[in-house]
Structure 1
Amino acid sequence: MAKTIEFKFKAPNESPGYLLGQLTQLWQRKQKKVLDPLNLTQTQFILLSALAWLSRENDNVTQVDIANQGNADRMMVSKVLRTLEEKKFVSRQEHQTDTRAKVIKLTNEGSKVLQRALTAVENVDIEFFSVLGNDLTLFIQSMINLTELNNDE
Structure 2
Amino acid sequence: MPKEIEFHFKSPNDSPGYLLGQVTMLWQRKLKMVLDPLNLTQTQFVLLAALGWLSKKNNAVTQIDIANQANADRMMVSKVLRTLEEKKFISRQEHQTDTRAKVIKLTNEGAKVLQKALTSVESADIDFFSVLDKKLSPFNQSLLKVIEQNKND
TM-score normalised over the length of structure 2: 0.98
Q: Matches of 1:46 and 1:109 in 2, distance apart?
A: 16
Q: Give deviations 1:93-123, integer Å, cap 9, x for gaps.
A: 1111100000000000000000000000000
Give the corresponding residue for 1:72: 72
Partner in structure 2 of residue 97 of structure 1: 97
Name the structure 2 match of 1:124.
124
Amino acid in the other structure paired with 1:26: L
CA RMSD of aligned residues (A): 0.7
State the alpha-carbon separation in 1 of the partners of residues 25 and 46 from structure 2: 16
Partner of 1:50: 50
Separation of aligned partners in 2, 1:35 and 1:120: 8
Equivalent residues, number: 153
> 1:86 maps to which residue?
86
Amino acid at match of 2:35: L
Q: Distance in 2 between matches of 1:8 and 1:94?
A: 53
What is the rounded CA distance, in whole Å, between the counterparts of 1:93 and 1:82 in structure 2?
A: 13
2: CA distance between counterparts of 1:103 and 1:137?
A: 35
Gaps of 5+ in 2: none
Aligned-pair identity (%): 74
Name the structure 2 match of 1:8: 8
Structure 1, unaligned stretches of length 5 or more? none
- Looking at structure 2, the residues matched to 4 and 33 of structure 1 have their Cα atoms a distance apart, in angstroms, of 41
